[in-house]
Structure 1
Amino acid sequence: MTATAAVGQESEGPVREREHGAAAARWACAVLAPALLLALTASVCLGSSQVPLGEVWSAVARGVSGGDPVPGTQDLIVWQLRVPRALLAAVVGAGLGLVGTAVQALVRNPLADPYLLGISSGASLGAVAAIVLGAGAGGLLGLGLSSAAFAGALASFALVWAMARRGGGFSPLRLVLAGVGIGQFLSGFTHYLVLQAGDDQQTHGVLFWLMGSLGGAQWSGLALPAAAVLLGLAALLARARALNALLMGDETAASLGVEVTRLRRELFVVTSVLTGVLVSVSGAIGFVGLMVPHACRMVVGGDHRRLLPVAALFGAVLLVVVDLVARTALPDQELPVGVVTALIGAPTLLYLLDQRLEKA
């Protein structure tokens, strides 16, 4: 074999890899899109009372067209309760998949997610402060629930980042450790605020919400998280090539023309906004942002131009299914969504840690 032929074969490798990744992404989207529709349908049909499929679609058609509910049917349950909840689960799952993917690229650590890095804990603290101290009614600094959650997410991430950059260097391991430590501290303060709630019913409601709950879903509350997820996806896709370069290290990314400092600041804002908005409507749901990017990378590879939309779709499917399990696993009792994701995510995290230790 001549040297020219060898070089030609070597150059064909990355091309074949890109083509394989693109084909895998198309297949993944082709599978996940109908899977999401199926999961949404099952989520609306199943529950404390089962609604026949034909009645579900009739109620949805009447709701979309603006028609009045038919007396003697379960239109109100379907259109006012279950459809908004299923759609909110899909939106939150998609957002968590996007945030997890972006954070893992940002810190170059596959074990990072908004929960482990303390972002969710900061958002939860801000949201609980809004609930307990009355910010939702114009109390705490005049911030509403979403604004307070965003402020908490941004502040906690900035604190974690400052700890990780102490001494002028950057260590992904230090970042994760700082996130876990600061997240636990913020969680302790959050629980202290919960204990200061005015009555037992409010305390119980806040604690249930902190473990992740989609039970308060309403049509009026869907617009903000849906808009945040769509804008977040657009913003991250616009920076997909820069995210790919960032995975190769700061120096390599800078040599390719990426303004690393500016990119990280932009990603701080995007991930903090998304996390704050999602936490304000669903509570802190852990491990979704950790599991989804890993599963998607195994199928479509690490190119963020393909990874981001697939992660959003898979995250949506996953959380719709998890919410359905949380509602139906126990008779006459609803589990917090975060409990179900923890039962799945904790073993996943331990497996990933074991794999990294074996490679070390």
Structure 2
Amino acid sequence: MTAAPATTSPPAPAPAPGAGRRSSGARTAAWVTAMTAVLVASITLAVVIGSADIAPLDVWRSIGDHLELTSSSLSQLRDGIVWELRLPRVLTAAAVGAALALCGAVMQTLTRNPLADPYLLGLSSGASVGAVAVLVLGVGWLGLPVAAFAGALLALVVTFALANRRGELAPTRTVLAGLAVSYLCSAATSFVIFWSATGDSYREILSWLLGSLGGASWTDTAIVTVALVVVGTALVSRSRTLDAFAFGDSTASTLGIDVNVTRWTLLTLVALLTGAAVAVSGAIGFVGLMLPHAVRFVVGAGHRRVLPLSALAGASFMIWADTLARTLFDPRELPVGVVTAFLGAPAFAVLLRRRKVGR
């Protein structure tokens, strides 16, 4: 009796070319869609929350009326609360959070330093010097973004001039240089306040230094939103370049990238976006440091996903931080920078702990 011949299962078909890329693109689109929905819901709920009786539908009625898309019977009082008071503040918070998170993600890659963010490397402190000088001198609102950008760019140049050694930016030297510049800018800010501030300007400057969105207007919304759209689009379009930088300068150079020119171009864009954000919100920490790490922990390190998702996560996070700042101790209002520090420090510690356990 002869044994039956062994049967072998046919080999599994090879995946079609580009299938992995399409699958990755579908996952990215799904994440972006989900985070966008969270952001829209956050904007609506943040406008609703407060002492006035505002319904979610009232928010969209007011928006539709002012954009001349609809015509509703919303009362003048409710329309004023939504359109003049709450909506500009919420949208400004969203744009500032998106800008800071996006800048943090780009800086962490360009410096190959997980601790890099606009606050740590001196950009926020440099912007504060320029902005406080403008506030003390009484220049109009047009000078504030320009001065904040100039201060951020100058701080960036000094930081990387100190950190640069034989054409390389070592992570440890970069952090130390950023701390030195940050302390120097803080001392300069304190000197300007001590020497020139009088009367009620102390309260205004202190509120700005701690981070505040209490006086946000449509002008502030326009400044940071335009900067976010223009500069953010330029940064997101360089996702593949940032992927190359993540493997080091040598790898990026091998791929045909002019490392020095590209790094300084992207960092200048980061300084511009940071200056615009700081000009309308003051110095706010932890957003650019924590949220990019949280996004990478969830979706991986590819910048095609990390950059837009960091911006969306930063926008939602800042909306809720500002909502807590204005409602937690109502009628008193906390500086939003205090809230981001209280929320960000424990969350970042938990994130570091989980990464350590995973490793």
- TM-score of the superposition, structure 1-length normalised? 0.87
Distance verdict in 2 for CA 1:170–1:60, change over 3 Å: closer
2:217 alignment counterpart? 218
1:335 alignment counterpart? 334
1:209 alignment counterpart? 208
In the alignment, residue 89 of structure 1 is paired with which amino acid? A
**Contact 1:197-1:203 within 8 A present in 2 as well:** no
What is the deviation of 1:243?
A: 0.8
Distance verdict in 2 for CA 1:19–1:296, change over 3 Å: farther
**Contact 1:117-1:176 within 8 A present in 2 as well:** yes
How many residue pairs are counted as aligned between the two chains?
A: 345
Whether 1:40 and 2:39 are equivalent positions in the alignment is no
Q: Taking every aligned residue pair, what percent have the same amino acid on both sides?
A: 44
1:97 alignment counterpart? 101
What is the deviation of 1:286?
A: 0.6
Distance in 1 (alpha carbons) for counterparts of 2:178 and 2:353: 20
Whether 1:63 and 2:66 are equivalent positions in the alignment is yes
2:6 alignment counterpart? none
2:120 alignment counterpart? 116
Tell me, what secondary structure is at the counterpart of 1:284?
coil
For 1:54, which of 53, 57, 60 is the aligned residue? 57
For 2:140, which of 136, 140, 165 is the aligned residue? 136
* Structure 2 residue runs without a partner (length 5+): 1-11
**Contact 1:292-1:314 within 8 A present in 2 as well:** yes
What is the deviation of 1:222?
A: 2.1
Map Cα deviations across residues 252-305 of structure 1 (whole Å, 9 max, x no partner): 110011110111110121001000111001111111011111111122221112
Distance in 1 (alpha carbons) for counterparts of 2:351 and 2:117: 13
Distance in 2 (alpha carbons) for counterparts of 1:16 and 1:338: 44
Distance verdict in 2 for CA 1:120–1:55, change over 3 Å: same
1:126 alignment counterpart? 130
**Contact 1:48-1:332 within 8 A present in 2 as well:** no
In the alignment, residue 105 of structure 1 is paired with which amino acid? T
Give the number of the structure whose alpha-carbon radius of gyration is greater. Answer: 2
**Contact 1:250-1:260 within 8 A present in 2 as well:** yes
What is the deviation of 1:34?
A: 1.2
**Contact 1:107-1:172 within 8 A present in 2 as well:** yes
In the alignment, residue 43 of structure 2 is paired with which amino acid? L
Residues 161-240 of structure 1: pairs in structure 2 closer than 5 A: 161-166=160-165, 168-240=167-239
Tell me, what secondary structure is at the counterpart of 1:196?
helix
Distance in 2 (alpha carbons) for counterparts of 1:303 and 1:68: 45
Distance in 2 (alpha carbons) for counterparts of 1:359 and 1:51: 45
2:147 alignment counterpart? 148
1:74 alignment counterpart? 78
In the alignment, residue 91 of structure 1 is paired with which amino acid? A
1:258 alignment counterpart? 257
Whether 1:283 and 2:282 are equivalent positions in the alignment is yes
* Structure 1 residue runs without a partner (length 5+): 1-8, 138-142
Between Structure 1 and Structure 2, the one with more helix by share is: 1
What is the deviation of 1:98?
A: 1.1
Distance in 1 (alpha carbons) for counterparts of 2:268 and 2:253: 21
Distance in 1 (alpha carbons) for counterparts of 2:356 and 2:180: 21
**Contact 2:96-2:318 within 8 A present in 1 as well:** yes
In the alignment, residue 86 of structure 2 is paired with which amino acid? R
Distance verdict in 2 for CA 1:357–1:292, change over 3 Å: closer
2:246 alignment counterpart? 247
Distance verdict in 2 for CA 1:193–1:69, change over 3 Å: farther
What is the deviation of 1:134?
A: 2.8
Distance in 1 (alpha carbons) for counterparts of 2:136 and 2:285: 22
In the alignment, residue 242 of structure 2 is paired with which amino acid? L
Distance in 2 (alpha carbons) for counterparts of 1:133 and 1:353: 43
**Contact 1:127-1:280 within 8 A present in 2 as well:** yes
Distance in 2 (alpha carbons) for counterparts of 1:68 and 1:53: 14
Tell me, what secondary structure is at the counterpart of 2:256?
coil
**Contact 1:21-1:301 within 8 A present in 2 as well:** no
1:267 alignment counterpart? 266
Map Cα deviations across residues 80-134 of structure 1 (whole Å, 9 max, x no partner): 0101111111111111121011111110112110001111000111111111123
In the alignment, residue 29 of structure 1 is paired with which amino acid? V
Distance in 2 (alpha carbons) for counterparts of 1:172 and 1:308: 21
CA RMSD of aligned residues (A): 2.8
Map Cα deviations across residues 281-340 of structure 1 (whole Å, 9 max, x no partner): 111111101111111112222111222111111111111111111111112111111101
Distance in 2 (alpha carbons) for counterparts of 1:24 and 1:187: 43
Residues 306-317 of structure 1: pairs in structure 2 closer than 5 A: 306-317=305-316
For 1:88, which of 89, 92, 98 is the aligned residue? 92
